[in-house]
Amino acid sequence: MELEVIALAFGGRGVARLDQVWLVAGALPGERVQVEEERRRRGVVEGRAVRVLHPSPWREAEPCPQAGTTCGGCDFAHVAYRFREQAYKASLAGALRGAPESLRRAVEQGSFFPSPWHYRLRGRLHWDPQQGQLGFFAPRSHRVANLKGCRVLSQELVALLPHWAKVLGAASFPAGEVEFLEDLAARQRLVLFRGMRPGAPPELPGVQGFWNLHGGGWGERELFLALPEPLVVPLGSFVQGNRFLLEPLWCTVAEVVRDGGFDRVVDLYGGVGFLAAAAWQGGARQVRVVEVSRRAAAAAQKNLPRAQVWATQAEAAVQQGVLEEAQLLILDPPRGGLSPLVRRAAERAKLQAVLYLSCDPACLARDSQGLVRRGFQVVWAKLFDLFAGTHHVELAVLFQRA
Ligand SMILES: C[S@@+](CC[C@H](N)C(=O)[O-])C[C@H]1O[C@@H](n2cnc3c(N)ncnc32)[C@H](O)[C@@H]1O
């Protein structure tokens, strides 16, 4: 089957129309591709480009040879580095269809922060004892890819993986997920085994601490990230996963606080306090951090000794008045965006500005509708290439009261 690709859907697939709509993995707008059908559902045919007959100028000349075939880690590996911005913006156009017009315009015009390869400082790999392999799953399969030559993980980590696989195999580790956390220089790393295994884990080369999710382990349990203010991150807690873009994100937040002269800032999904620490450095005098995970909240308190850390759900915190007196609200919710309760509280609070970070454009579109209805204007949007190689992109949007 040969198809002309006319657009890019959010999720990274090329869109083509024949008698039906086709979503084609590995295809770019303007391309003519030979497609293999994968499945049909809800009136849409999903397929995969098996040959490119007429390539787009956006196409990467030397993509990772495993991407889309044996490894499902990168679904945008076929997009050339210098065209990533256009590709993200094209795919966001559809995902933001339900957003206020001002947000769509801001994203179209938004500045883009690209990422080099080997950026990942945190992630989860699958361990398959039968294959004796640690890696990402192949597309639509539970077969684990060999990550030799991976462009996403640090080169130091890629070199260690075969040694780790040997150790896990020799210690008869059952199937499970292996979470890693690295420092910015990729010199130190911690590992968490998210599977069922009693007893202390063995030594792993290049690792300063190895823990089981359900107790037992050895060595360090937290790492320092050398940011403008060094941050401690416990193993298993959330931290933005791109070592190269932590600093531009930090500077963006600090600049928002400095330029707006915001003294009182609330970070409602604070993690270990990364964005709140940037707000502090930007000049905020009263910083409140809300975080549901006790371990992350404790780290946030260590990182920001002068902040008020609320170790609770955002929903409970807004009901207990955390937004009272706040001037700037920072929102970086998990996928799924804001709950109706938090959304209403944010819309009704007497805030001067909201800085919303999201990798889920449909939820961002929904949540910004209410803010715009309540008199907020979109000042700018910025795109951070936090997940380079994949169709995901982080959007930061500044809303200000008119
Ligand atoms: C996307 S992360 C953002 C973390 C932080 N802003 C950062 O940049 O590192 C979302 C955080 O929200 C926390 N979280 C999830 N649901 C929550 C809720 N209902 N209330 C408060 N925190 C929540 C998670 O534990 C996680 O640390």
How confident is the model over 109-151, as pLDDT tens digits?
Answer: 999 999 999 999 999 999 999 999 999 999 889 999 999 999 9
What stretches in the chain show pLDDT beneath 70? none
Q: Which of 353, 319, 349, 315 is nearest to 333 (CA)?
A: 315
Binding site membership of 313 for ligand 1 (Cβ less than 6 Å): yes
Binding site membership of 276 for ligand 1 (Cβ less than 6 Å): no
Binding site membership of 314 for ligand 1 (Cβ less than 6 Å): yes
Are 215 and 195 in contact by the 8 Å Cβ rule? The answer is no
Closest-lying ligand 1 atom to the alpha carbon of residue 237: 27
Binding site membership of 240 for ligand 1 (Cβ less than 6 Å): yes
d(CA 221, CA 209): 6
pLDDT of 68: 86
Residue type, 313: Q
Strand extents, DSSP E, 268-385: 286-290, 308-310, 328-331, 353-358, 376-384
Q: Which of 216, 160, 163, 226 is nearest to 192 (CA)?
A: 216
Kindly give the distance from the C-alpha atom of residue 167 to the centroid of ligand 1, in angstroms, as a whole number.
33
Closest-lying ligand 1 atom to the alpha carbon of residue 275: 8
Kindly give the distance from the C-alpha atom of residue 137 to the centroid of ligand 1, in angstroms, as a whole number.
26
pTM score of the predicted model: 0.96
pLDDT of 388: 97
